A = this chain, B = another copy of it.
Amino acid sequence: MCQLLGMNANTPTDVMFSFTGFATRAEEHKDGFGIAFFEGCGVRLLVDAQSARASPVADMVRRYPIKSRHIIAHIRKATQGAVALENTHPFTRELWGRYWVFAHNGDLKGFAPRLHGAFRPVGSTDSERAFCWLMQELAKAHASVPPIDELTATLRELVPPIAAHGTFNFMLSNGQALWAHCSTHLHHIVRQHPFAHASLQDEDVTVDFAELASPRDRVAVVVTEPLTRDETWTPFAPGELKVFVDGAPLDGPPPP
Contacts and interface: CB of A to CB of B under 8 A. Distances in A.
A46 B34 CA distance: 13
A97 interface: yes
B45 A39 contact: no
A42 B120 contact: no
Contacts of A88: 42
Interface stretch (A56-64, A148-156, A248-256): A56-64
Interface residues of A, number: 35
A94 interface: yes
Contact of A96 (B85, B99, B117, B120): B120
A173 to B, nearest CB: 14
A94 B97 contact: no
A86 B174 CA distance: 13
B121 A97 contact: yes
Nearest to A86: B42
Work out how many copies of this chain go into the complex.
2
A174 to B, nearest CB: 10
A43 to B, nearest CB: 7
B40 A86 contact: yes
Contacts of A122: 41-42, 94, 97-99
A98 B99 CA distance: 17
Nearest to A119: B94
Interface string A77-100: 000000011111000011011110
Interface in A48-66: 48-49, 56-57, 60, 63-64
A212 interface: no
A176 to B, nearest CB: 13
Interface of A: 39-49, 56-57, 60, 63-64, 84-88, 93-94, 96-99, 117-123, 139
